[in-house]
Structures are given as structure tokens and as C-alpha cells.
Amino acid sequence: MERRSDFSLILLSATTFVGGLALGLLLTPESSAKKRKWIEKRAKEWSRWFDLQSQATLHKGENEIKRLKTNIHLGLKSNFPDLFEATEHIDLRYHDFKHR
């Protein structure tokens, strides 16, 4: 529950920041053509930055999942016996299973 409110707070803060930035840009005394050009340039830069960050996060997540999978596999293998190896030397003959 607390985690959700933290996310909401971060989202509200980011939205407020972007809104304030946009309002500040619109109220500056420069010409609107300069403002649009500046906004377009920054939007492209931020878009590239977000793309790089998302790719890096995806790559890091994939590596963490691989590491977790390996650790789980090693943990299971070391804590549970291999059933084939555990039953390999059991002598089972047909006559042991006949109805008496």
C-alpha cells in the first residue's frame, strides 16, 4: 500500500514539474518560433535519453532474471537429491510386485 502511494507521489511530482516547465516556457518573452524549436530539440534529447534508460533497464532486468534462475536451479539441485541417482541402485524385480 505504501509503495503505491510513493509511486503516486513521484508521478504527481513529475507531472507538476513538466507542467511548470511548459508554463514557464510559454510565458518567456522570446518568440514562439524559438520556443517551439527549443521544445522540439529538448523533447528529442529526452526521448533519446528515455530510450537508452529503458533499454539499459530491460537489459539489467534480463540479467537479474537469469541470475535468479541460476541461483534457484543451483539451490534446488544442492538441497534436493536427483531422483534418478537416488533410485538407481534399488533392486526391483517383477516377482516383488505380484499379488500375494
Provide the number of structural domains found in the chain. 1
Is 31 contained in some domain?
Answer: no
**CB environment 23-50: b (16+ within 10 A), e (fewer):** eeeeeeeeeeeeeeeeeeeeeeeeeeee
* Residue range of the domain that includes 51: 45-100
- In this model, does residue 90 exceed pLDDT 80? no
86 domain residue, yes or no: yes
Is 29 inside any structural domain?
no
Q: Does the pLDDT of residue 82 top 70, yes or no?
A: yes
Q: Which helix (H) or strand (E) holds 20?
A: helix 2-27
pLDDT tens digit sequence for 16-72: 888 888 777 777 777 777 877 887 888 899 889 888 988 999 999 999 999 999 999
Predicted TM-score (pTM) of the model is 0.46
| Contacts (Cβ under 8 Å, ≥6 apart) of 25 | 35, 38, 39
pLDDT mean over 5-26: 81
Instruction: Decide: helix, strand or coil at residue 19.
Output: helix
CA distance 63 to 60: 5
Maximal C-alpha separation, the chain: 102
How many helices and strands in the chain, by DSSP H and E? 3, 0
Instruction: Check residue 43 and give its pLDDT.
Output: 83
Comparing CA positions, the residue from 17, 24, 54, 50 lying closest to residue 39 is 24
Residue 1 has pLDDT above 60, yes or no: no
pLDDT score for 70: 93
